[in-house]
Amino acid sequence: MGTIKLHNKHFKKYISAKKIKIAIDKMASLVAKDCKDEVPIFIGILNGSFMFAADFVRAYNGNCEMSFVKLASYSGTDSTGNVKQLVGLNENLEGRTVIILEDIIDTGTTLEEIYNIFRHQKLKQLKIATLFFKPDVFRKELHIDYIGLSIPDKFIVGYGLDYNGLGRNLADIYQLTTHKMTNIVLFGPPGAGKGTQADVLKDKYNLVHISTGDVFRYNIKNQTDLGKLAKSFMDKGDLVPDEVTIDMLKAEVEKNPDANGFIFDGFPRTESQAKALDAFLEEKGQSINGMVALEVAEDLLVARLLKRGETSGRSDDQDESKIRNRFNEYETKTSILKNYYADQNKYFGVDGVGNIEEITERLSSVFDTL
């Protein structure tokens, strides 16, 4: 899954486990080269470095020792209040090459404490290896010997790093999502002009347009399993079953992890689709901003669809009884969604009769407020 929720915050995938492995393998071979015949003692700083340390030593080709310490705060009696000490260091380090394994170095405060503590240990040498480094926020004049990946100042979790205790077990690195998407349901009966308008509005507002009808038609054309399944329903003008449609919609959204938002065209069409969409977006810390509906009388639409059927090649546009069935599906299953969104103050009706530009103008004046 592309996004996860930890406590009340949402995170999206940022650095893959594969990329992390490549960085660690590179570090391990660099360190091994520098150590030559020396047997270094690696010291991982808990808790965050446990995964990194395990994978690092696995990739390290040569003899080495491995230990872990924890930096713990205790309230000192001196005026600085907060003094750090090391817990868990039992080895005699005199004369040894010590290489600290840190999961991440940002401001450098922890690193400075480590330097201060190890300064008194009569080491042969002290080296620092960090998997992640945030150069933009590093404030110290301290040397870092090995860096896995330099990253911008983003809050990250996973691969040992946590957000309030959670997320350490994730194999990939995730970053906090901060941007709010604009998600609009473009609504209206068949033939209302949703596809035509979505095409214009997606560029104007830099949104991704997802038309479930188009996705089904694409699958039919390519004779996929999904297409074969959808075809029997579509040919009659029936709705494709919710389970199929909802999963397909989710997959389409997941294909666009960096979208500013979506124009949903032809989805949701049933109340259970609307609820599934809400739940799915909520998992991502997102929501529907509004349903914008093109309102056009049915009689006008039948004529429009028959006309479109002359050129579109769509079998469901060519036969009046199929068209009537689509309206029936709309009236019985879909039009109730107006209330679903109106109850949340998210329904915006727009007159869908007129030329394309006029209608785009009307829709834009609603989009601008969302």
* Residue numbering of the annotated binding site: 191-196, 212, 217, 238-240, 266-269, 273, 308, 314, 326, 354
DSSP letters of 170-220?
-SSEEEE--PPPEEEEEE-STTSSHHHHHHHHHHHHT-EEEEHHHHHHHHH
Q: Check residue 264 for interaction with ligand AMP (CB under 6 A).
A: no
Q: Check residue 128 for interaction with ligand AMP (CB under 6 A).
A: no
The number of angstroms, rounded, from the C-alpha of 355 to the middle of its chain's C-alpha atoms is: 38
Catalytic residue from among 314, 338, 346, 362:
314
Comparison of 88 and 241: residue with beta carbon closer to ligand AMP: 241
Give yes or no for a contact between 115 and 126, defined as CB atoms under 8 angstroms apart.
yes
CA distance 53 to 42: 8
Q: Check residue 167 for interaction with ligand AMP (CB under 6 A).
A: no
Residue numbers in the known binding site for AMP are 212, 217, 238-240, 266-269, 273, 314, 326
CA distance 341 to 357: 26
| Least distance in angstroms from the C-beta of 317 to ligand AMP | 9
Q: Check residue 294 for interaction with ligand AMP (CB under 6 A).
A: no
Comparison of 156 and 239: residue with beta carbon closer to ligand AMP: 239
CA distances from 310 to 120, 131, 156, 232, 324 (A): 86, 62, 54, 21, 17
Q: Check residue 267 for interaction with ligand AMP (CB under 6 A).
A: yes
Residue 369's SS3 state is: coil
Q: Check residue 233 for interaction with ligand AMP (CB under 6 A).
A: yes
Secondary element (H or E) of residue 74: strand 65-75
Q: Check residue 322 for interaction with ligand AMP (CB under 6 A).
A: no
Catalytic residue from among 9, 168, 275, 308:
308
326 in active site:
yes
324 in active site:
no
Comparison of 237 and 285: residue with beta carbon closer to ligand AMP: 237
Q: Check residue 352 for interaction with ligand AMP (CB under 6 A).
A: no
Q: Check residue 274 for interaction with ligand AMP (CB under 6 A).
A: no
Which one of residues 48, 148, 193, 237 is an interface residue with ligand AMP (CB under 6 A)?
237
CA distance 347 to 338: 7
Q: Check residue 190 for interaction with ligand AMP (CB under 6 A).
A: yes
Comparison of 68 and 233: residue with beta carbon closer to ligand AMP: 233
Strand partners, 98: 41, 126
Q: Check residue 173 for interaction with ligand AMP (CB under 6 A).
A: no
Q: Check residue 245 for interaction with ligand AMP (CB under 6 A).
A: yes
Helix axes 320-329, 298-312, angle to 10 degrees: 130
Instruction: Output Rg (C-alpha) for the chain, integer angstroms.
Output: 29
Q: Which amino acid makes up residue 352?
A: G
Comparison of 130 and 211: residue with beta carbon closer to ligand AMP: 211
Comparison of 63 and 223: residue with beta carbon closer to ligand AMP: 223
Residue 122's SS3 state is: coil
Residue 306 tokens, joined: 């028959």
Q: Is 153 exposed, middle or buried (0-12, 13-18, 19+ CB in 10 A)?
A: exposed
Q: Check residue 50 for interaction with ligand AMP (CB under 6 A).
A: no
Which one of residues 326, 341, 359, 363 is an interface residue with ligand AMP (CB under 6 A)?
326
Positions marked catalytic: 194, 269, 308, 314, 326
| Site residues for ligand AMP per CB under 6 A | 190, 212-213, 216, 233-234, 237-240, 245, 266-267, 269, 273, 316, 326
